[in-house]
Amino acid sequence: MSLLIKNIKQLVTCAGRSRIPRAGKKQSDIGLIENGNIFIEKGKISFAGNISGLKKFLSSNTDTKYDILDASDKVIMPGFVDSHTHFVFAGSRENEYEMRLAGKSYEQIAKAGGGIISTVKALREIPKKALKEQAEDRLEKFVKYGTTTLEGKSGYGLDLGNEIKTLEIMKELNEENRYSLDIVSTFLGAHSVPPGIKKSDYVKEISHNMIPIIAKENLATFIDIFIEKNYFDTEDADLIFTMGKRFGLIPKLHTDQFNSVGGTDVAINHGAVSVDHLEVLSDEDIEKLVAFNKSRENRKIIATVLPGVSYFLDIPYAPARKLIKNNVPVALATDFNPGSCMTENMQMIMSLASLRLKMSAEEIINAVTANAAYALMMEDKVGSIEAGKQADLLIFDMPSYKYLFYNFGVNNLEKVFKKGKVVYSSK
């Protein structure tokens, strides 16, 4: 049955396909409609707008049987798009969290056998079925806080079989999960060098063995690399991205988390869709991003900022204000993973962006909807409330969208719609 949601106190649409991604001053354009209305048919939005628009729409629409939901004291916005996570993993690392509180750094813990490699051991040991169940269970928390589209990376397998195991789980979950979430897969074979292998041999293994098989089996859309001291460098990235692109995988990257390591140049040379992390991004690299984006008619590079990592590891925050001031479009994501940001809660990330990155409410909302959809090349389907897009909507029981930042640490979400169906309800 179709659905009319009417009298919405504040309808935040983020609409305007041609204006995505939003950068600079336009990152504040959230397409707010007071007293808005939405009509949903077959899982898609067929109308979103004010009352006079609705009257016109209804008079010409053939679908005359529909349910009605009154939202006169509610705020509605697009479902959140979490464009950077590592949600398929085994085990947990609360022991490392304690070590960090006792003064050890992320780097020191990794050197002592903790870090990414400890999760690799756990993932290699667990059977696929159990790993999949754990991953699917995590989806409930994402949905509960408003995420309706989710990216996930491999990178805790670090050998062909276990990378495929991870990517197959995400592919299967995308085809069928109990919340109908869209799940987008990224191959992150270059997350860490596995123990017992020379880095140059592992880079060859990724380039000549893993990439062709993963691409042929259609197991990933994107290819990612962790460019960082003691992990992978720009030369490794050149080899891996060159091969990845040859097989149709689209580059994204982790860079400048702890050290300024030249990832911006790699992103520009390979036309990446996003550069992620950027905690220690230099002014010079911001200028390069600006120049590159200016020169591009088509896809811009999105800066995906992950304030949950800065909070959780107690490291610097990315220069989000400088990026916005310089017209680089910014997205925000959780980076949910067991080592550097153990939260599925996008609202928590939004609160950090407000208080720590000094982003405005409007900038943040675009960063978790339209711009994040663009970072996954899904802006035609999700990330805004407008005719033709999927009916992925969040209904908040609160007086204004600004209240979301003010009333922090609790969940004001009342309902989550994914493809027109209620997938979470607080009552």
Q: Which does 158 bind (CB under 5 to 8 A by kind): ligand NIG, Fe ion, none?
A: none
Contact status: 10 vs ligand NIG (CB under 6 A): no
Least Å distance between CB 88 and Fe ion?
Answer: 13
Q: Residue 148 or 154: which CB sits closer to ligand NIG? A: 154
154 dihedral zone (left: phi>0; alpha: psi -120 to 50; beta): beta
Q: Where are the beta strands (DSSP E) in 219-362?
A: 222-227, 250-255, 274-277, 302-305, 330-332
Least Å distance between CB 346 and ligand NIG?
Answer: 16
Q: Which of 116, 193, 215, 352 binds ligand NIG (CB under 6 A)?
A: 116
Collect all residues with Cβ–Cβ distance below 8 Å to 147 and sequence separation of at least 6. Answer: 79, 80, 81, 82, 181, 344, 346
Q: Which does 340 bind (CB under 5 to 8 A by kind): ligand NIG, Fe ion, none?
A: ligand NIG
Q: How far apart are CA 124 and CA 165, in angstroms?
A: 9
Q: Residue 151 or 285: which CB sits closer to ligand NIG? A: 151
Compute the CA torsion angle 381, 148, 183, 120 (nearest 10 deg).
150
Q: Which does 392 bind (CB under 5 to 8 A by kind): Fe ion, ligand NIG, none?
A: none
Give 101-128 as a 3 state SS string. Answer: HCCCCHHHHHHCCCCHHHHHHHHHHCCH
Q: How far apart are CA 56 and CA 53, in angstroms?
A: 5
B/e letters for 331-370, b = 16+ CB within 10 Å, e = fewer, are bbbbbbbbbbbbbbbbbbbbbbbbeebebbbbbbbbbbbb
Q: How far apart are CA 226 and CA 389, in angstroms?
A: 33
Answer for the pair 217, 248: CB distance below 8 angstroms, yes or no.
no
The binding track of 265-304 with respect to ligand NIG, each residue x by CB under 6 A or -, is ----------------------------------------
Residue 233 vs residues 85, 111, 131, 259, 319: alpha-carbon distances, Å: 22, 18, 30, 11, 23
Answer for the pair 48, 385: CB distance below 8 angstroms, yes or no.
yes
Q: Which does 339 bind (CB under 5 to 8 A by kind): ligand NIG, Fe ion, none?
A: ligand NIG
Contact status: 340 vs ligand NIG (CB under 6 A): yes
Contact status: 82 vs Fe ion (CB under 5 A): no
Map the footprint of Fe ion across residues 326-385, applying CB under 5 A.
335
Residue nearest to Fe ion (CB): 335
Q: Which of 132, 254, 300, 419 binds ligand NIG (CB under 6 A)?
A: 254
Q: Which of 119, 177, 264, 366 binds ligand NIG (CB under 6 A)?
A: 119
Amino acid occupying residue 174: N
The binding track of 308-327 with respect to ligand NIG, each residue x by CB under 6 A or -, is -x------------------
Q: Which residue(s) pair with 156 in the sheet?
A: none
Joined tokens for residue 117: 């490699």
Contact status: 307 vs ligand NIG (CB under 6 A): no
Q: Which does 226 bind (CB under 5 to 8 A by kind): Fe ion, ligand NIG, none?
A: ligand NIG
Contact status: 224 vs ligand NIG (CB under 6 A): no
Q: How far apart are CA 325 and CA 188, in angstroms?
A: 31
Contact status: 335 vs ligand NIG (CB under 6 A): yes
Q: How far apart are CA 8 and CA 96, in angstroms?
A: 45
Q: Which does 187 bind (CB under 5 to 8 A by kind): Fe ion, ligand NIG, none?
A: none
Q: Cα-flanking dihedrals φ and ψ of residue 26, to 5°?
A: -70, -15
Q: Residue 252 or 415: which CB sits closer to Fe ion? A: 252
Least Å distance between CB 74 and Fe ion?
Answer: 34
Least Å distance between CB 217 and ligand NIG?
Answer: 24
Collect all residues with Cβ–Cβ distance below 8 Å to 407 and sequence separation of at least 6. Answer: 398
Contact status: 386 vs Fe ion (CB under 5 A): no
Contact status: 390 vs ligand NIG (CB under 6 A): no
Contact status: 257 vs ligand NIG (CB under 6 A): yes
Instruction: List residues binding ligand NIG (CB under 6 A).
Output: 86, 115-116, 119, 226, 254, 257, 309, 335, 337-340
Instruction: List residues binding Fe ion (CB under 5 A).
Output: 335
